[in-house]
C-alpha cells in the first residue's frame, strides 16, 4: 500500500476542531471558541444571490473574479482601507484563506523564511510549512498591547527571510495596529527587501471607537505590500467563501493565474452575493457591528468583575484572557473547562507558542452567555490555581 504524501501525514489536526467537536456533542455548553459570526447573512444578500442564480449566473467566471465585483471592491478599498487599488490589481478568491494560500504559493520558494506573529492566526504557519517554507515566529506580548516592535522584528531578518506577515485588526489579540507602526513596518520591509503580506480581513470590525484601521498598503511605494480581505466576518458570510487580495500589478497577475490550477475561479453565485453586500443597505452591517461592540463592553465588565486578566480588544470579535492552568497543557485545560464547567474556549496554544497561558473567547455568542461563560472561566481558574 502506498503511503500518502509525507507533508499531509505530518500535518497536525487543529486543536480548535477537537474542542469544537467535543463542545458540539455537549448539550447546553456555552460556546465561546468559535470564530463564526452569530448572525445569518442579511436577507437582501441572500435574495440577490437567489435572483442571480435564477437569472443564469451559474457558470464559471474569470480566474480573478467578476469584473463588476472587482470594480466595487476598488471603491470599497478606497473608502475603508484608504488606498488606491484599480480593479486589475484585485483578485477575488474563495475566502480570505485562499487569498493567503495563493500569496504564499506565488511568493515563497522552498527554504524561505516568513516572519509570523504569535499569538497569531494558526493556519499561517501550516501554510508556510506545507509549501516548504520556514515559519519564524515573532512574539507579541500583552505588555506592549500585542503590537510588534519593528526593531525586534529587524533582528529576526536573515538572508533567507522573504516575507513579513502581519494581521490587523488581529486574531486572536484584537489589537489594531496604529498608523505610525504600519508605516514603520513597511519601511522595515523596504530596508530589508521583504514582501509584506497584511491580513486585514477584520478591517471593518473596529470595536473601540477610538481605534482606526490603517492598511499597510497606504505606505507602499515599492510594490511590495499585498493586503487580504474577506466578506466572511464583516458581512456574516463565512459559508459563501468570498475573499480577495489587493496586490501590485505583477503579483495580482500571478495570483489570478494561480487560481486556475487551484480552484479555476471563485463561486459566481457567491460573487453576485458579494456585489449585493457592497451595493445594499449599510444598516444590517451597522447593527452587527453595534452588537459586537455591546458584547465587548459586557465582556470587559464581566472579566474585570470576575478578576480575570485580559487585554481589551480594539477590533475583531475576540478577546484573550490570561489563565493559570495548574501545570496542565492548554488543550487539557480547555477540555477540562468544557467537561467541568460547560464552557468551551479556544486554547491559546493553537495561536503558537505566544498563546501559552491564554484562552481566546469569541464575541459571537450573545451577551448573557458571554458574561456567564467568563464567570465560569474565572471559577475554573480559581479552582485550578
Residues that bind ligand PLP (CB under 6 A): 35, 95-97, 121, 167, 171, 199, 201, 230, 232, 238, 243
- Report, in Å, the least distance between residue 127 CB and ligand PLP: 11
CA dist 229 and 198 (Å) reads: 9
- Report, in Å, the least distance between residue 379 CB and ligand PLP: 29
Nearer to ligand PLP (CB atom), residue 63 or residue 167: 167
CA dist 178 and 236 (Å) reads: 26
Q: Which residues contact 191 (CB under 8 A, 6 or more apart)?
A: 154
- Report, in Å, the least distance between residue 81 CB and ligand PLP: 15
- Are the beta carbons of 284 and 138 closer than 8 angstroms? no
Strand ranges, E, within 168-296: 195-199, 225-230, 243-246
Contacts 24+ apart (CB under 8 A), 185-190: 185/148, 185/150, 185/153, 185/216, 186/216, 186/219, 186/220, 186/224, 186/225, 187/150, 187/219, 188/150, 188/153, 188/154, 188/164, 189/164, 189/224, 189/225, 190/221, 190/222, 190/224
Nearer to ligand PLP (CB atom), residue 16 or residue 23: 16
Nearer to ligand PLP (CB atom), residue 275 or residue 376: 275
- Report, in Å, the least distance between residue 167 CB and ligand PLP: 5
Bridge partner residues of 229 (DSSP)? 244
CA dist 348 and 214 (Å) reads: 26
Nearer to ligand PLP (CB atom), residue 66 or residue 201: 201
* 52 phi/psi in degrees, rounded to 5: -65, -40
Residue whose C-alpha cell reads 505590500 in the numeric block: 225
Provide the pairing of β-strand 358-362 with 346-347. antiparallel
Nearer to ligand PLP (CB atom), residue 224 or residue 233: 233
Nearer to ligand PLP (CB atom), residue 97 or residue 186: 97
Nearer to ligand PLP (CB atom), residue 119 or residue 133: 119
- Report, in Å, the least distance between residue 280 CB and ligand PLP: 19
Nearer to ligand PLP (CB atom), residue 128 or residue 380: 128
What's the start-to-end Cα distance of the chain, in Å?
49
Nearer to ligand PLP (CB atom), residue 236 or residue 323: 236
Helix ranges, 108-231 (H):
123-130, 150-156, 179-192
CA dist 359 and 348 (Å) reads: 5
- Report, in Å, the least distance between residue 76 CB and ligand PLP: 15
Amino acid at each position: 500500500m502506498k503511503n500518502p504524501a509525507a507533508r499531509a501525514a505530518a500535518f497536525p489536526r487543529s486543536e480548535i476542531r477537537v474542542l469544537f467537536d467535543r463542545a458540539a456533542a455537549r448539550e447546553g455548553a456555552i460556546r465561546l471558541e468559535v470564530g463564526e459570526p452569530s448572525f445569518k447573512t442579511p436577507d437582501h444578500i441572500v435574495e440577490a444571490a437567489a435572483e442571480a442564480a435564477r437569472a443564469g449566473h451559474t457558470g464559471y467566471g474569470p480566474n480573478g473574479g467578476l469584473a463588476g465585483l472587482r470594480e466595487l471592491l476598488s471603491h470599497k478599498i478606497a473608502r475603508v482601507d484608504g488606498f488606491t487599488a484599480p480593479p486589475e490589481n484585485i483578485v477575488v478568491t474563495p475566502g480570505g484563506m485562499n487569498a493567503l494560500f495563493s500569496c504564499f504559493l506565488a511568493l515563497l520558494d522552498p527554504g524561505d523564511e516568513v516572519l509570523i506573529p504569535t499569538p497569531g492566526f494558526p493556519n499561517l504557519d501550516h501554510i508556510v510549512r506545507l509549501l516548504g517554507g520556514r515559519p519564524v515566529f515573532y512574539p507579541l506580548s500583552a505588555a506592549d498591547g500585542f503590537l510588534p516592535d519593528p526593531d525586534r522584528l529587524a533582528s529576526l531578518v536573515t538572508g533567507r527571510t522573504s516575507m513579513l506577515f502581519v494581521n490587523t485588526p488581529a486574531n486572536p489579540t484584537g489589537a489594531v495596529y496604529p498608523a505610525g507602526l504600519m508605516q514603520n513596518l513597511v519601511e522595515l520591509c523596504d530596508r530589508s527587501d521583504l514582501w509584506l503580506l497584511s491580513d486585514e480581513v477584520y478591517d471593518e470590525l473596529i470595536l473601540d471607537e477610538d481605534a482606526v484601521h490603517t492598511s499597510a498598503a497606504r505606505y507602499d511605494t515599492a510594490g511590495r505590500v499585498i493586503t487580504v480581505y474577506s466578506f466572511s466576518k464583516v458581512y456574516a458570510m463565512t459559508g459563501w467563501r468570498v475573499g480577495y487580495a489587493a496586490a501590485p500589478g505583477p503579483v495580482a497577475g500571478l495570483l489570478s493565474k494561480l487560481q486556475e490550477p487551484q480552484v479555476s475561479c471563485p463561486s459566481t453565485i457567491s460573487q453576485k452575493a458579494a456585489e449585493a453586500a457592497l451595493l445594499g443597505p449599510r444598516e444590517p452591517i451597522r447593527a452587527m457591528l453595534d452588537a459586537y461592540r455591546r458584547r465587548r463592553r459586557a465582556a470587559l465588565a464581566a472579566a474585570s468583575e470576575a478578576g480575570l486578566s485580559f487585554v481589551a480588544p480594539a477590533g475583531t470579535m475576540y478577546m484573550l484572557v490570561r489563565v493559570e492552568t495548574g501545570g496542565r497543557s492548554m488543550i487539557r485545560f480547555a477540555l477540562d473547562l468544557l467537561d467541568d464547567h460547560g464552557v468551551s474556549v479556544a486554547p491559546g496554544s493553537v495561536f503558537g507558542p505566544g498563546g501559552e497561558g491564554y484562552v481566546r473567547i469569541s464575541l459571537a455568542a450573545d451577551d448573557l452567555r458571554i458574561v456567564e461563560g467568563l464567570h465560569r472561566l474565572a471559577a475554573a481558574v480559581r479552582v485550578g490555581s
